[in-house]
Each structure stands twice: as C-alpha cells, then as structure tokens.
Structure 1
C-alpha cells in the first residue's frame, strides 16, 4: 500500500504518542514519532515530513519552538494537538501559522479527518504558512466541519456536505458561516471536558 503522506508526530505523553502513531499508520500514513522537541527537529531534518502534528507543552523545547524551526528552516506545515485552549495559546498558534489546532482530549477518529484535511490542503498547494493573524482558510474550516459530521454520524463526504448545506439553509447562513459555527461548537465542547 502506498503512503498517503509522511507525518511527524511529537508528544511527550507516550500513551498519546503511541495511540496517534498507531491510528495514523492504520489510516495509511508514514509516521515518524518523537517524544521531545530536540529529537523532533533531528527527525524532521533527516526525514523531511510533509506535515507535523505537535504537542505544545513538553519539557525542553516546546511545540512552539519546534513549529518555529519547521516553519523557518524546513517550510514544513504543522498542526497542534494540545490540552490548552487559553487565549494566549491560541494567539501564539495563529501567529506561528498552524494549519490546524486540535484540543485534547480527542480520539484518533477525530484526529484522522483533521490530518486528511491538512494533507488535502497541502496537496492543493496551500501549504505555505499563513501570515500572522490571517483569517483561517474557509476551505479548511469546511473540510474540518465535514470531518466532524462524517465521524459523528458515519456519513460519506458527500452526505456530510449535503447535511451541512441543509443546516446552513435552514438557519439562513452561508456554508462558510455554518461550518465555522460547527467547528467552534466542537472546540468549545472539547475544551469544557474534564481533563
């Protein structure tokens, strides 16, 4: 089976790391993993992943430090997976130009659609990091909303799109606006779960 893409996963929680690595491998990705920032940078230089999935708070180099290196030195797109959703963290995520931000706790069935969406955007040529404070790409938001619906209701991509459009029409909103509301609701729910 050919790989869907090469991804670097970095998390200092070995259980989370093992779960994410296994899930992404099962979904068809070539996965390189590290449990600290220093190893992550060495592996990124050696293997040149197409995407990195980074925990933020780790001993030594943080996920933000790794992201800064990936952006400046390797031009590797990255997304964050973190238990923290405070305003300061979100501001730094936006400034660094992350392609996505996922709030723990999440299971692998929520992570895979977000990774697939990020890879779709990369392959479509939108892998250059966004400038600081740029608005989030509406295609990315719609793809994330579709991933949520596909996972939550076991729908095909087309069925999820039809459901999202029907919801947008029933509430007299644009598709972009409805997708944004859905993604924000899911993030709010995830952030309010006890750790």
Structure 2
C-alpha cells in the first residue's frame, strides 16, 4: 500500500473445461494477474455482481449459455471488455467475435508464449475503449452545455436588445461574480423563461 506499484488487473476466466481453466489460471497468475474463475456463463454473471473484472476471457463453446450469449449480456448490461477463447479459427467465428466487440481472440490449444502478449494487448485495447467512452460522455456533456449557453445568450440578446458579444460577457461576469459556471446560470435562465411562458399561457387562457 502506498508504494506506487501499479494495481494488478483482474481477469475473469469463463471456461467449462477444468484442465484449460487451471492452465490459464496458472499462467496468468504467474504473470501477476488476479484471476476469478467461472465454469459457465451463469456462474460468471453471479461473480460479476460481487466483483467486476478488468476483462473477461470467454470460451465460445460452453454448454447452456455460450460464450457469445454471455458476451451479449456483458455488452448490454455492463462495461466489461471481453476476449474469446475458441477451439477454431474459422473465419465466420472470428468475424462473429469482432461483431460482438471482442478486444481479443485466442485459439485452443493456445501457445503459452503468445498468451501473455495477447492478453496484454487486449487489456490495452480495452483501456483505450474505456477512454473513448469517457471522452464521448464528456463531449456529449460539452455539446449540451454549449447549446444551452448559446440559447441563453440569444435570450439575453432578445430581452435587452444587445449583441451576442455583450450578452455573453454579461452572462459570464454574472456567473463569475456569483461563483457559478456559465452553464448553471444559462440553464437557470432557460428554466425561468420556460416557467414564465407557462404563466403567460395561463394568463392568455383567462383572457
């Protein structure tokens, strides 16, 4: 604790074959990954409720819930990235894996020497995807904020017969003097205008 050492990545292994599961666990554990094991898709979903891994490694062909079915659940219900493990390198299966959004693909019997580099590359890809998702959220938020600010500036221009530059400067100065963000003040102005319009409709209705 407090040594500055990088936190271990946690990998969820979902594999119904005990020998393969044990081998994967041993190799990845020796490479300093924390491992969670599950023998089927249902077990994996229960495990995720208690601890969310950094990545899941899914066997495609499992009885009951297949790896593809589980991947579909992970994609729709969580943000956990996943890679597939399969006994075939058939192009249709690989294409399906890509369509499901897998960050990596391992073919059984896998080459031990290539296992760790493949997992590391998949984790790096997963991290890039996470960053992109965060950027998209921030970008969407910024676009909404910018749109509301622009609408509030337009409102001030109409109310006080001002040009855009002056209206924005007044809005910015008001926000600064009240220690608030421009977006907060803009949202409040738009809400106030909407409320006033609702009252106007009520008065018009009485007339």
TM-score (norm 2): 0.57
The match for 2:129 is: 126
Match of 2:106 in 1: 102
Once the 2 structures are TM-superposed, how far is the Cα of residue 121 of structure 1 from its aligned partner?
2.7
How far 1:38 sits from its partner (Å)? 0.7
Q: Is the 8 A contact 1:45 1:74 kept in 2?
A: no
- The question of 1:11 aligning with 2:15 is answered yes
In the alignment, does 2:40 pair up with 1:36? yes
- Matched ranges for 1:83-98 at <5 A: 83-98=87-102
Separation of aligned partners in 2, 1:85 and 1:122: 22
Q: Which has the higher contact order (CA 8 A, sep 6+)?
A: 1
Among 67, 70, 80, the residue aligned to 1:66: 70
How many residue pairs were aligned?
Answer: 129
Partners of 1:118 and 1:75 lie apart in 2 by: 15
Between 28-37 and 80-89, report the one with greater CA deviation: 80-89
Give the deviation of 1:119 after TM superposition. 1.9
1:5-47: CA deviations, max 9, x gaps? 0110011110000000111111111110111111011112221
- Answer 1 or 2: which has greater helix percent: 2
- SS in structure 2 of the partner of residue 106 of structure 1: coil
When the two chains are superposed, the root-mean-square deviation of aligned CA atoms in Å is 2.1
Q: Specify every segment of 5 or more residues in structure 2 that has no aligned partner in the other structure, as ranges.
A: 134-207
2-side partners of 1:98 and 1:44: how far apart?
Answer: 18
Rg larger for? 2
> Compared with structure 1, are the counterparts of its residues 94 and 121 closer, same or farther at alpha carbon in structure 2 (3 Å cutoff)?
closer
- State the partner residue of 1:48: 52
TM-score (norm 1): 0.61
Structure 1 residue runs of 5 or longer lacking an equivalent are: 131-195
1:73, distance to aligned residue in structure 2 (A): 0.6
**Preserved CA contact (<8 Å) 2:81 2:103:** yes
- Structure 2 counterpart of 1:136: none
Aligned-partner Cα distance in 2 for 1:38–1:96:
19
Q: Distance in 1 between matches of 2:116 and 2:79?
A: 22
Which range moves more in the overlay, 104-113 or 33-42? 104-113
Alpha-carbon distance change, 65 to 57 in structure 1, aligned in 2, over 3 angstroms: same
